[in-house]
Amino acid sequence: MVSPTMNLSGLVILVADPSSYMSMLIHSMLRGFGNSKVLEVRHSSAVLETLTTQKIDILITDARIPPRGGLLLTRAIRRKEDNENRTVPILVMTSDLRESTVKLARDAGANMVIAKPMSPASLYDRLAWIAFNPRQFVDTANYFGPDRRFKIEGYPGGVGRRKGDKAVEIGAEAGPALAQNDIDSLFSAARVGQDS
Amino acid sequence: MTKETEPDARVFFVDTRFQRLARRGGGISRDQAISQAQAGIEEAGGGFEEWVDAELNELVDLVKSASTGRAAPDWLEAANFRSRQLRDVGTTMGFELLSFVADSLCDLLDSIADGAECNMESVVCHVDALVLSRQERYRHMRPDQVPDLTKGLRRVVKHVST
């Protein structure tokens, strides 16, 4: 991931992680990237509350943020029609790197998934990817979020559809862990094409 | 519903404030940003060892309670949370052996949560290894420098999860 210079100054970044120490590390990384407006919360309810009271420029959430997890939180943000932060970029952090989990995050409406544990380089590159690779948004009866269709591979389970997208169940997960490169490829939108 | 009667999706372009502002000029280069972030982590990591000690103590207490049947019903999730924290933070801070053992404990606790037998000896064995990996002699070691320990932990996890 080669990225041009990124300017994060003045942006309001909301970090949702149940671990205060991990939040502090992420905060340090973001400060190193030139950002000084980081808000931290420990629960998904606090995320929703923050989103209703102030403008957030990007949400970085742990997939296991209590009580119901970052994927359901992402879905809740995307599905709430009167939410002015509905299109806010969402970066989901997870140590559960099974392909099924990463796809669930994508299908919930996440812009990108980052593998935990993470380094400054991996965080910087995912933020830059979101900043410099804007995707169209798609609004259907069952999905609202960044365009999930990719030309690099045909995804099973309905992903890639436009009309009649299947509802996504956040449930059982299976399969081996993915490397960050594999995760990136799942999010590497490379097309703007016709509906399937 | 036939294809003809299905409603079309609404597709639209969103240029968020994040994207607009992040692309502005006047930013800092990737190398500089990463270097500054790394320095920030090192500076912030001053209290790391105290934090590890506190987390380990909590974990030891949780497992002791569970071993004696006095644990809260959610002890498994609480223990998993603490071991995940140790793994994630330990890796970011460069404590490889601690992270390896914590990762192995996460696998073990995940297996138990998924229905594997709750073998407390295996859990205690991992917690002992965590305490060991925190000690001065071991804390800067890599997993490949203590092959007996790492193989043993892998064997335990495999045994419990199969």
Average pLDDT of chain A to the nearest whole number: 81
pLDDT for residue A152: 33
Cα separation values, B161 from A177, B46, B123, Å: 16, 37, 13
Task: Return the minimum-mean-pLDDT range out of A163-172, B15-24, B83-92, B132-141.
Answer: A163-172
Where does the pLDDT of residue B7 fall: very low under 50, low under 70, confident under 90, or very high at 90 and above?
low
pLDDT for residue A176: 64
Task: Give yes or no for A144 touching B (CB within 8 A).
Answer: no
Place of tokens 């890639």: A160
Tell me the torsion sign for CA atoms B78, B79, B82, B84.
negative
Residues 76-95 of A with CB under 8 A from B: 87-89, 95
Residue A47: both structure tokens together:
């995320």
Average pLDDT of chain B to the nearest whole number: 88
For residues A99 and A90, which has the higher predicted lDDT (pLDDT)? A90
SS3 of residue B147 by DSSP: helix
Whether A57 and B37 lie within 8 Å, measured CB to CB = no
**Long-range contacts (CB closer than 8 Å, 24 or more residues apart) made by A178-181:** A178/A97, A178/A98, A178/A99, A178/A102, A178/A115, A179/A97, A179/A115, A180/A114, A180/A115, A180/A122
Chain B CA closest to residue A140: B9
Task: Report the complex ipTM.
Answer: 0.78
pLDDT for residue A118: 87
The domain spans of chain A are: 12-187
Tell me the torsion sign for CA atoms B24, B29, B34, B40.
negative
Task: Give yes or no for A130 touching B (CB within 8 A).
Answer: yes
Where does the pLDDT of residue A168 fall: very low under 50, low under 70, confident under 90, or very high at 90 and above?
very low
* Contact pairs from chain A to chain B, CB under 8 Å: 174
Task: Return the minimum-mean-pLDDT range out of A32-41, A183-192, B4-13, B101-110.
Answer: A183-192
pLDDT for residue A177: 67
pLDDT for residue A173: 44
| Of residues A118, A124, A138, nearest to B9 (C-beta) | A138
pLDDT for residue B162: 75
Q: What is the mean pLDDT of residues A166-188?
A: 59
Shortest Cα–Cα distance, A118 to chain B (Å): 6
pLDDT at residue B90 is higher than 60: yes
Whether B14 and A137 lie within 8 Å, measured CB to CB = yes
Whether A22 and B89 lie within 8 Å, measured CB to CB = yes
Task: Give yes or no for A191 touching B (CB within 8 A).
Answer: no
pLDDT for residue A186: 66
Q: What is the mean pLDDT of residues A85-97?
A: 92
Share of chain B above pLDDT 70, in %: 96
Task: Give yes or no for A142 touching B (CB within 8 A).
Answer: no
Q: What is the mean pLDDT of residues B43-71?
A: 87
Query: Which of chain A's residues have a Cβ under 8 Å away from the Cβ of B28?
Result: 5-7, 33-34
Q: What is the CATH number of domain B47-161?
A: 1.20.120
Closest to B121 in 3D by CA, of B41, B66, B53:
B66
Where does the pLDDT of residue A196 fall: very low under 50, low under 70, confident under 90, or very high at 90 and above?
very low
d(CA A40, CA A42): 7
The CATH homologous superfamily for domain A12-187 is Response regulator (3.40.50.2300)
Q: What is the mean pLDDT of residues B60-85?
A: 89
Q: What is the mean pLDDT of residues B106-125?
A: 90
pLDDT for residue A175: 61
Q: What is the dihedral of CA A58, B32, A28, A31, to 10 degrees?
A: -50
Whether A5 and B15 lie within 8 Å, measured CB to CB = no
Task: Give yes or no for A28 touching B (CB within 8 A).
Answer: yes
Predicted TM-score (pTM) of this structure: 0.79
Which of A1, A20, A25 best tests the B interface by mutation, with the highest count of B CBs <10 A?
A25
| Of residues B21, B36, B85, nearest to A7 (C-beta) | B21
Task: Return the minimum-mean-pLDDT range out of A46-50, A126-130, B71-75.
Answer: B71-75
For residues A46 and B140, which has the higher predicted lDDT (pLDDT)? A46
Q: What is the mean pLDDT of residues A55-75?
A: 94
Which of B2, B5, B18 best tests the A interface by mutation, with the highest count of A CBs <10 A?
B18
pLDDT at residue A37 is higher than 70: yes
Q: C-alpha angle with apex A41: A38 to A42, nearest 5 degrees?
A: 145
pLDDT for residue A69: 92
Shortest Cα–Cα distance, A68 to chain B (Å): 13
SS3 of residue B124 by DSSP: helix
Shortest Cα–Cα distance, B124 to chain A (Å): 23
Whether A117 and B15 lie within 8 Å, measured CB to CB = no
d(CA A114, CA A93): 5
pLDDT at residue A114 is higher than 90: yes
Whether A3 and B51 lie within 8 Å, measured CB to CB = no
| Of residues B8, B17, B88, nearest to A117 (C-beta) | B88
Burial class (CB in 10 A: 0-12, 13-18, 19+), B1: exposed
Query: Which of chain A's residues have a Cβ under 8 Å away from the Cβ of B113?
Result: none
